[in-house]
Amino acid sequence: MKKKFPQISPVSIDLSKNIPIGSGLGGGSSNCASVMLGLSRLFSLNINLTLLKEIASKLGSDISFFFDGGTQLGQGFGGDLKKISLPKINYILILLPDINISTSWAFNNLKNSLYEESIKSKFSDIHRLKFKWKSMQKFFENDFESIVFRTYPRIGDLKKKLLQNGASYASLSGSGSTVFGIFDDFKTVLNAERKINQIKTHLVKPIKHKKIFEY
Protein backbone atom coordinates (compact mmCIF):
# COMPACT_ATOMS: atom_id res chain seq x y z
CA MET A 1 0.00 0.00 0.00
CA LYS A 2 2.86 2.35 0.85
CA LYS A 3 4.52 1.67 -2.52
CA LYS A 4 1.32 2.52 -4.36
CA PHE A 5 0.43 5.47 -2.15
CA PRO A 6 3.53 7.28 -0.82
CA GLN A 7 1.28 9.72 1.07
CA ILE A 8 0.58 7.02 3.66
CA SER A 9 2.40 8.05 6.82
CA PRO A 10 3.40 5.67 9.66
CA VAL A 11 0.49 4.11 11.54
CA SER A 12 0.25 2.08 14.73
CA ILE A 13 -2.01 -0.99 14.61
CA ASP A 14 -3.27 -2.95 17.62
CA LEU A 15 -4.57 -6.38 16.58
CA SER A 16 -6.80 -8.45 18.84
CA LYS A 17 -6.91 -12.01 17.44
CA ASN A 18 -10.31 -13.60 18.04
CA ILE A 19 -10.10 -16.02 15.10
CA PRO A 20 -7.50 -18.68 16.00
CA ILE A 21 -4.31 -18.79 13.95
CA GLY A 22 -4.05 -21.83 11.65
CA SER A 23 -7.77 -22.58 11.88
CA GLY A 24 -8.67 -22.20 8.20
CA LEU A 25 -11.17 -19.42 8.89
CA GLY A 26 -9.41 -16.65 6.97
CA GLY A 27 -8.32 -14.74 10.06
CA GLY A 28 -5.03 -13.48 8.65
CA SER A 29 -6.54 -12.64 5.26
CA SER A 30 -9.44 -10.72 6.80
CA ASN A 31 -6.96 -8.83 9.00
CA CYS A 32 -5.04 -7.85 5.88
CA ALA A 33 -8.18 -6.74 4.03
CA SER A 34 -9.27 -4.68 7.04
CA VAL A 35 -5.91 -2.91 7.20
CA MET A 36 -6.01 -2.11 3.49
CA LEU A 37 -9.54 -0.71 3.74
CA GLY A 38 -8.63 1.14 6.93
CA LEU A 39 -5.64 2.81 5.28
CA SER A 40 -7.80 3.78 2.33
CA ARG A 41 -10.26 5.52 4.64
CA LEU A 42 -7.68 7.00 6.99
CA PHE A 43 -5.70 8.66 4.20
CA SER A 44 -8.65 9.34 1.82
CA LEU A 45 -7.02 7.37 -0.98
CA ASN A 46 -10.23 7.08 -3.04
CA ILE A 47 -9.02 3.65 -4.13
CA ASN A 48 -11.36 1.50 -6.23
CA LEU A 49 -12.10 -2.18 -5.71
CA THR A 50 -10.18 -3.24 -8.82
CA LEU A 51 -6.94 -1.70 -7.57
CA LEU A 52 -7.52 -3.06 -4.06
CA LYS A 53 -7.83 -6.55 -5.50
CA GLU A 54 -4.72 -6.07 -7.61
CA ILE A 55 -2.67 -5.18 -4.53
CA ALA A 56 -4.29 -7.95 -2.46
CA SER A 57 -3.46 -10.59 -5.09
CA LYS A 58 0.24 -10.04 -4.38
CA LEU A 59 -0.29 -10.70 -0.68
CA GLY A 60 -2.68 -13.68 -0.58
CA SER A 61 -5.22 -15.55 -2.70
CA ASP A 62 -8.30 -15.11 -0.51
CA ILE A 63 -7.84 -11.54 0.74
CA SER A 64 -10.08 -10.07 -1.98
CA PHE A 65 -13.05 -12.07 -0.68
CA PHE A 66 -13.12 -9.99 2.49
CA PHE A 67 -13.56 -6.68 0.69
CA ASP A 68 -17.16 -7.54 -0.09
CA GLY A 69 -18.09 -10.62 1.96
CA GLY A 70 -21.35 -12.49 1.54
CA THR A 71 -21.46 -15.68 -0.53
CA GLN A 72 -19.02 -15.59 -3.41
CA LEU A 73 -17.53 -18.03 -5.89
CA GLY A 74 -13.77 -17.62 -6.23
CA GLN A 75 -11.96 -18.76 -9.36
CA GLY A 76 -8.42 -18.61 -10.66
CA PHE A 77 -6.10 -17.48 -7.88
CA GLY A 78 -8.96 -16.16 -5.77
CA GLY A 79 -9.37 -12.62 -7.06
CA ASP A 80 -11.98 -13.52 -9.67
CA LEU A 81 -15.12 -13.37 -7.55
CA LYS A 82 -18.82 -13.33 -8.27
CA LYS A 83 -21.85 -13.29 -6.00
CA ILE A 84 -23.84 -16.53 -5.81
CA SER A 85 -26.78 -17.94 -3.87
CA LEU A 86 -26.78 -21.27 -2.05
CA PRO A 87 -29.45 -23.13 -0.08
CA LYS A 88 -30.51 -21.40 3.12
CA ILE A 89 -28.36 -22.08 6.16
CA ASN A 90 -30.22 -22.16 9.47
CA TYR A 91 -27.46 -23.07 11.95
CA ILE A 92 -23.73 -23.75 11.80
CA LEU A 93 -21.80 -25.62 14.47
CA ILE A 94 -18.11 -24.72 14.35
CA LEU A 95 -15.58 -27.05 15.98
CA LEU A 96 -12.17 -25.64 16.89
CA PRO A 97 -9.65 -28.35 17.82
CA ASP A 98 -6.44 -27.21 19.52
CA ILE A 99 -4.41 -27.88 16.38
CA ASN A 100 -2.63 -25.21 14.36
CA ILE A 101 -2.32 -26.07 10.67
CA SER A 102 0.05 -23.98 8.56
CA THR A 103 -1.54 -22.89 5.29
CA SER A 104 1.80 -23.20 3.49
CA TRP A 105 2.20 -26.76 4.84
CA ALA A 106 -1.25 -27.69 3.56
CA PHE A 107 -0.60 -26.30 0.07
CA ASN A 108 2.85 -27.85 -0.16
CA ASN A 109 1.39 -31.25 0.66
CA LEU A 110 -1.58 -31.04 -1.66
CA LYS A 111 -0.71 -33.60 -4.32
CA ASN A 112 -3.87 -33.32 -6.38
CA SER A 113 -3.54 -30.60 -9.00
CA LEU A 114 -6.34 -28.06 -8.79
CA TYR A 115 -5.82 -27.27 -12.46
CA GLU A 116 -6.28 -30.69 -14.02
CA GLU A 117 -9.10 -30.83 -16.54
CA SER A 118 -10.60 -33.84 -14.76
CA ILE A 119 -10.96 -31.97 -11.46
CA LYS A 120 -13.33 -29.16 -12.41
CA SER A 121 -15.06 -27.28 -9.62
CA LYS A 122 -18.51 -28.67 -8.96
CA PHE A 123 -19.24 -25.55 -6.93
CA SER A 124 -19.45 -23.30 -10.00
CA ASP A 125 -22.72 -24.80 -11.25
CA ILE A 126 -24.31 -26.27 -8.14
CA HIS A 127 -25.73 -22.94 -6.95
CA ARG A 128 -28.02 -22.92 -9.98
CA LEU A 129 -29.64 -26.17 -8.90
CA LYS A 130 -32.34 -26.48 -6.24
CA PHE A 131 -30.39 -28.77 -3.92
CA LYS A 132 -30.59 -28.93 -0.17
CA TRP A 133 -27.47 -29.20 1.96
CA LYS A 134 -28.21 -32.87 2.61
CA SER A 135 -27.65 -33.55 -1.09
CA MET A 136 -24.49 -31.50 -1.41
CA GLN A 137 -22.29 -33.82 0.66
CA LYS A 138 -22.01 -36.21 -2.29
CA PHE A 139 -21.32 -33.50 -4.85
CA PHE A 140 -18.20 -31.79 -3.59
CA GLU A 141 -15.65 -31.77 -0.80
CA ASN A 142 -12.68 -29.81 0.41
CA ASP A 143 -9.52 -31.07 -1.36
CA PHE A 144 -7.47 -30.47 1.78
CA GLU A 145 -9.40 -33.12 3.70
CA SER A 146 -7.39 -36.00 2.21
CA ILE A 147 -4.16 -34.48 3.56
CA VAL A 148 -5.36 -33.05 6.85
CA PHE A 149 -7.47 -36.05 7.91
CA ARG A 150 -4.61 -38.44 7.13
CA THR A 151 -2.14 -36.40 9.17
CA TYR A 152 -4.59 -35.45 11.93
CA PRO A 153 -7.16 -38.29 12.22
CA ARG A 154 -8.83 -36.52 15.15
CA ILE A 155 -9.97 -33.75 12.79
CA GLY A 156 -11.47 -36.30 10.42
CA ASP A 157 -13.32 -37.86 13.34
CA LEU A 158 -14.93 -34.50 14.08
CA LYS A 159 -16.48 -34.38 10.61
CA LYS A 160 -17.84 -37.90 11.13
CA LYS A 161 -19.33 -36.90 14.48
CA LEU A 162 -21.09 -33.91 12.95
CA LEU A 163 -22.71 -36.08 10.28
CA GLN A 164 -23.58 -38.79 12.81
CA ASN A 165 -25.29 -36.21 14.98
CA GLY A 166 -27.59 -34.77 12.35
CA ALA A 167 -25.55 -32.30 10.27
CA SER A 168 -26.96 -31.91 6.76
CA TYR A 169 -23.48 -31.07 5.52
CA ALA A 170 -20.04 -31.08 7.17
CA SER A 171 -16.59 -30.09 5.96
CA LEU A 172 -13.11 -28.95 6.83
CA SER A 173 -12.89 -25.16 6.63
CA GLY A 174 -10.18 -24.00 4.25
CA SER A 175 -6.91 -25.76 5.00
CA GLY A 176 -8.12 -26.54 8.55
CA SER A 177 -8.08 -27.18 11.41
CA THR A 178 -11.68 -25.97 11.90
CA VAL A 179 -14.53 -28.30 10.97
CA PHE A 180 -18.09 -27.06 10.56
CA GLY A 181 -21.51 -28.63 10.23
CA ILE A 182 -24.71 -27.17 8.76
CA PHE A 183 -27.93 -27.99 10.62
CA ASP A 184 -31.57 -27.48 9.73
CA ASP A 185 -33.11 -27.13 13.19
CA PHE A 186 -32.09 -25.81 16.59
CA LYS A 187 -32.90 -28.91 18.60
CA THR A 188 -30.62 -31.10 16.48
CA VAL A 189 -27.68 -28.72 16.47
CA LEU A 190 -27.97 -28.13 20.22
CA ASN A 191 -27.95 -31.86 20.83
CA ALA A 192 -24.88 -32.26 18.59
CA GLU A 193 -23.03 -29.50 20.46
CA ARG A 194 -23.74 -31.24 23.77
CA LYS A 195 -22.45 -34.56 22.48
CA ILE A 196 -19.30 -33.10 20.91
CA ASN A 197 -18.11 -31.42 24.07
CA GLN A 198 -14.42 -32.30 24.25
CA ILE A 199 -13.33 -29.24 22.24
CA LYS A 200 -14.19 -25.59 21.78
CA THR A 201 -17.40 -25.05 19.83
CA HIS A 202 -19.33 -22.10 18.42
CA LEU A 203 -23.01 -22.33 17.51
CA VAL A 204 -23.90 -19.58 15.05
CA LYS A 205 -26.88 -18.48 13.00
CA PRO A 206 -25.89 -16.66 9.80
CA ILE A 207 -27.11 -13.10 9.39
CA LYS A 208 -27.92 -11.28 6.18
CA HIS A 209 -24.80 -9.79 4.70
CA LYS A 210 -24.44 -6.02 4.90
CA LYS A 211 -21.78 -4.02 3.14
CA ILE A 212 -19.61 -2.70 5.96
CA PHE A 213 -16.99 -0.80 4.01
CA GLU A 214 -17.26 1.80 1.29
CA TYR A 215 -14.39 2.14 -1.16
Residues 183 and 97 in one domain: yes
First to last CA, the chain: 15
**Sequence-ordered alpha helix ranges (H) in the chain:** 27-42, 49-56, 103-108, 123-126, 133-136, 145-151, 153-164, 186-195
Close Cβ partners of 22 (under 8 Å, ≥ 6 residues apart): 99, 100, 101, 102, 103, 177
pLDDT by residue for the chain (215 residues), tens only, comes to 999 999 999 999 999 988 888 888 999 999 999 999 999 999 999 898 889 989 999 998 889 999 887 888 888 777 788 888 778 889 999 999 999 888 888 888 876 545 454 445 555 556 555 667 776 766 677 889 988 999 999 999 999 999 999 999 999 998 889 999 999 999 999 999 999 988 999 999 987 766 655 54
Q: Are residues 69 and 95 in the same domain?
A: no
Closest CA to 141 of 184, 176, 94: 176
Which residues form the domain of 135?
A: 91-204
124 plus 163 within the same structural domain: yes
